[in-house]
Every structure is written in structure tokens, then in C-alpha cells.
Structure 1
Amino acid sequence: MAQIEVGNAPDSWGIWFPKNDRQVSYHVFLDEVAAAGYSCIELGPWGYLPTNASVLEVELASRNLKLVASTVGCNLLEEESIESVLVQLPEITALQKELGAKFVVLLPAMFTDLFTGEVVLNKTLSDEERDQFNRNIGRIGRIVREQYGLVLTAHPHVDSHLETEADIESLLAATSAEDVSLCLDVGHHAYGGGDACGFIKKHIGRIPYIHLKNCDADILAQMRKEGWSFAHAVTKNIMCEPWRGMVDFKQLKAVLDDVGYQGYAVVEQDMYPAPPARPFPVACDTRNYLSEVGIG
């Protein structure tokens, strides 16, 4: 039987940037994520939540919340971009270690512009580039483990070079389990044409951390037909509530039970910009639905 603790992420409140006029304050996010019945959160973009561990600890404790992960991202084929993450890691990891969060979630750069949909990187990697991409994830993972004592979980993402099952299989084959694990996002996995349930069965040993959301097949087809940017597709709710999309969450629960999953499952429902009144009822309905199917 799976033992799952369910959290939610700032992304579900439309938090994509450290500071942005279209985002709610961190007090609103924390108040609402706690009121909706979740027990843990991710850090979100560095600088959105307090970066002083003592301040953040008080904010979390007052709401019976805990921190479970941080998130970083970079272009994994560009040394300058990788270095910017490595320079930031000491501060980020010091904060999360003080608060007991063990996971560092690594997001690969998208090959399309988030807001215009314009292709900004080559969609297809050469064999040499793929090797470099995988090596760099392994290098970051080794640093996260050896220098900070934490776990790197690479996050497959839409419109990135870590999107399809073939991409992920390549990464897993090229890296060690002690340096690189996965944050498997079941909605992004469906977007990339994968079968999250089958993939979890095959690779549970590399999946200590899960993101929960779903993907609307009709919106995805329309997005591809009309060339929408991912940000525009998000406004159409492409990454939809768990009960509405391509992933069967009852089947997902059965698979998690079968493999004996023990750990966190964090809701990360992409919203931006999020009307201030929308995230809280969605978060409540999502938490109720997950409880109904036995997740958390």
C-alpha cells in the first residue's frame, strides 16, 4: 500500500516568478494551501517565499506546513546557464536543509519561448548534444549529493529535451541512480506522449518524488494545430484538474499501491496568470478528489 503525503506548489497559484504584479502575495498562497488541506509545499521561484530560513520556518509552522523541495532550472547545454544555478545552490540548499527539505527539482530549459511559442532552441539534439545534456544533469546531481547531501530530481517538462519517454530513458541509462532521480510529473508525461502508470512500474527505483496534474487531450491537440505557446495553452487549462485529463488517477493510485510508493505527491497545476479567486477552490476540489481516490 502506498504511503503518500500530499502537498501543493506555488505554481498552482500562478506563481512563475519571484516578483510579479499578477501574482498573489506569499501570505495568500500559504494561507490558502493550508486551508485547502495540504501538508507541504515547494519553494517555488527563488525569492517568492522568504529566503531567510528563520522567517520561513515561522510562516510554515504557523500553518502546520513543511517544505519538501526547492526548484532550479537552466539550459543544460549552456555552461553559463548551468553556472548560474551552481552559484545559487549554496543559498538555496542552506535554506531547505534548515527546514528539512531533501529534494532539489531540476527543470530543463524549454526549446520554445514560454510566451510566444517561438522555437528558441533546436528541438532535436544530436547524439553528442544528448550525451552532453545527460552528463550535465549527472554533474549537477553529483554536486547536489556530494556537496549538499540532497537528492536531485530531474523534472521532465513540456517542450524540452527531457519530455518523451525516450528522452527520460536516455537520461536514466546515462546517469547513476545515486546522482539522478526523477520528479515524475504525470501531466507533463502525458503531454509528451508517455504512459505515466507504465513508466512508474518500470522505473519506481528512480522515482522518489511525484508531481500531480493532468493534461487535457483536446486542448493539447488544439495547441499543436494552432501553434500556441505553452503560456497561452495554460490559460486554456491544458494542465487540468486530475479528474479531467488523459491520466486515469484511479489507475495511478493502483499502480502506486502495487509498487509500494512511499513519499510525497505534490500538486503542481500550471496557472498563469491566475485570477486571484480561482486557485483556492481548484486546490480544495483537487484535494477532495485525491482523497476520494485514496491518494493521501
Structure 2
Amino acid sequence: MNVRIGAAPISWGVCEIPGWGPQLPYTRVLDEMQAAGYAGTELGPWGFLPTDPAALADALARRGLAMAAAFVPLPLKDPAAYPESERRVRQTAGLLQRLGARDILLADAGDDLRMRIAGRPDQTRAHGLRPQEWPRYAARLERLSQLCRFEYGLVPSFHPHGGTYVEHPDEIRTLLERCDPHLVKLCLDTGHVALGGGDPVALARTHAARLGYVHLKDVDLPRLRALLARGASYVDAARQDVFVELGRGSLDLRALVGALREAAYAGWLVVEQDRVVQPETDTLGSARRNLVALRALVDAPSGMR
């Protein structure tokens, strides 16, 4: 089965959320991805990597890395913000196209309220999109997905995410039901699905034909629940190491990889460990351990071959 294993800059603490934490130099991040043995990287927040296509292509080629995709958070809930959503998509899609990438990951940007109540299903259901908002929300996403696919030749996948308006399993289901499955694929992020109260393995099986991209995370669920019980937001929880190295958390990643094999999934498996790091953090050691753990699952008889 044709899968490639990549890494995302968030595992090095690089995040689009303002004030997230220290940001390491992009050269260190790419050097460590190469040293650990990954096949590719994601773009990270706009401006973290060079945005000049030639400069970025050279930086990747010198390290033998491919550009896997980019995560693009969008203010989809606000109709008046559609021009800004389109601007972000065109900016990112144009760069991905020049780099020969196949995938682009579209997501809701969320807001302060949803960030504060992330991981609490009763509250997220009470403060979600109203029934009358869903049709136009989905239409905006489809319009942006058409742009990605037909103007830039990219495969758009929607990324459910903690702290946004598509987090809870009911929200994920509604979004997928309202969007054309041939146009909008699913980016399965194991950690964010679990944070929202969902089952990543069940989601992979239910939407096997729709899987376009996969983010592999592991989560310390007891620690997450304890933090949420004390009022932690999504950002608070991520900063306190609820996302752990693969195999050290609560998720059944072996079953998840088995579900991907059953689905005949072919594409990127990208390791993500949402966290804050310091310059002295052993990010290379962590990257290597994550890759070893994932390769063991992929190469096992019950996983992908």
C-alpha cells in the first residue's frame, strides 16, 4: 500500500495560534525532519517556511523532503469574511501548486468561545452552528474546495479541529453529509477527533471512502479530562502536554492503522504532536521515536505493508 510518512512543524512547537510559545528556526526543524528520516513536511503557519517558491523548493530539495500539504484555518462561520478565506486559500494553494504538493487541508478557524469550551461535548453542542447556518457554511467550504481542485489541481480535505465549529462527532457528521464527497475529502486527525469526544477508528471505518489525509497523534486522555475538569481551554491543554509521543497515550493506533489498511488508504501519514517546546527540548529524539513507533505499526502484519 502506497503511504508516505511525514512530519508537521507543530511537533517542533510551531503553531499559527498567537502566543503559542517559542518558535524554532525553520532550518533546525527541516534539518531534524531529515535526520529523523521523514519523507516530507507540511507548510506550517504562513511565513514560517520561505514563501518564495524557488527558495522553499531549494530548502526542501537539499534535505530530500517533499511538501506534503498545508493546514489553512478559515473564518467559515462569518459570511462577511469569505473574501479573507478565499485570499488565504489562494495564497497557500498557489505555493503548494508550485511545489508539486497534492493536498490542502481546510479547517474552521474557531473563536475564543469554542477554544474555551473545547473537549466538553455538552457545551460544544449548545454553542454550535444553528441549523439554518449549516447550508451556507457548507456552501462556502464547497466553493473554496472547488477553487482548490479546479484552479490549482489540489485535493482538498476538511480537518475537524478542537476549539472550532467542527469538533464534536455530530458536527463532523453534519459537515460531511452536507458537502459533496467527491469534492470535500476528510482529513482524519486522531487527536482532535478524540478531543472532541469521537472515536478515530470508528470515523476511519465509517468514512473509509472519503479519507484524503491523515494526521497521527496520541493523547493522554486521563490527563486531558483532568485539565478540562479544572477549566482548561484547548490551548491550555495542549501547552500542558496532553498530546504525547505515539504509543505513549490512550489511543488505539494499531486499530487505527488497521482501519486505514482496510480502507485501502493511500497517501500521507503525518505525525503531529501539538505542543510547546523550548530551544533545549530534544525535538530530534522525539521525532525519531515517533517515526519508529509509526513504522512499527505500518510494517506489522496487522497494519499496512
Q: Same fold, TM exceeding 0.5?
A: yes
For the residue of structure 1 that corresponds to 2:223, the secondary structure is helix
Q: CA RMSD in A?
A: 2.5
State the match for 1:257 in structure 2. 261
One-letter identity of the residue aligned with 1:175: C
For residues 63-86 of structure 1, what are the alpha-carbon distances to aligned partners after superposition, in whole Å with 9 as ceiling and x for unaligned? 110001122112211134332131
State the match for 1:190 in structure 2. 194
State the match for 2:98 in structure 1. 98
One-letter identity of the residue aligned with 1:214: D
Q: Which of 124, 130, 138 is the matching residue for 2:128?
A: 124
CA contact (8 A) 1:17 1:48 kept: no
Unaligned 5+ runs, structure 2:
300-304
Q: Does 1:153 align with 2:163?
A: no
Counterpart CA distance in 2 for 1:276 and 1:133 is 43
- Give 1:159 shift: 2.3
State the number of aligned residues.
295
Fraction of identical pairs, as percent:
31
Counterpart CA distance in 1 for 2:135 and 2:11 is 33
- Give 1:171 shift: 1.3
CA contact (8 A) 1:76 1:133 kept: yes
For the residue of structure 2 that corresponds to 1:105, the secondary structure is strand
Counterpart CA distance in 1 for 2:107 and 2:15 is 13
Q: Which of 229, 235, 239 is the matching residue for 1:231?
A: 235
**Range moving further from structure 2, 84-93 or 44-53:** 84-93
One-letter identity of the residue aligned with 2:178: A
CA contact (8 A) 2:162 2:195 kept: yes
Counterpart CA distance in 2 for 1:115 and 1:159 is 4
Counterpart CA distance in 2 for 1:220 and 1:82 is 34
State the match for 1:55 in structure 2. 55
Counterpart CA distance in 1 for 2:241 and 2:8 is 17
Q: Which of 277, 289, 295 is the matching residue for 1:291?
A: 295
Counterpart CA distance in 2 for 1:285 and 1:273 is 16
Q: Which of 215, 218, 225 is the matching residue for 2:222?
A: 218
- Give 1:276 shift: 4.0
Unaligned 5+ runs, structure 1:
none
- Give 1:275 shift: 4.6
State the match for 1:11 in structure 2. 10
CA contact (8 A) 2:115 2:162 kept: no
Counterpart CA distance in 1 for 2:258 and 2:93 is 34
**Range moving further from structure 2, 47-56 or 2-11:** 2-11
CA contact (8 A) 1:72 1:85 kept: no
Counterpart CA distance in 2 for 1:58 and 1:45 is 19
Q: Does 1:83 align with 2:55?
A: no
- Give 1:31 shift: 0.2
State the match for 2:203 in structure 1. 199
Which TM-score applies when normalising by structure 2? 0.89
Counterpart CA distance in 2 for 1:137 and 1:106 is 8
Which TM-score applies when normalising by structure 1? 0.91
CA contact (8 A) 2:51 2:95 kept: yes
Q: Does 1:248 align with 2:252?
A: yes
For residues 194-236 of structure 1, what are the alpha-carbon distances to aligned partners after superposition, in whole Å with 9 as ceiling and x for unaligned? 1211211121211121001012111221122111122221122
Q: Does 1:42 align with 2:39?
A: no
**Range moving further from structure 2, 70-79 or 84-93:** 84-93
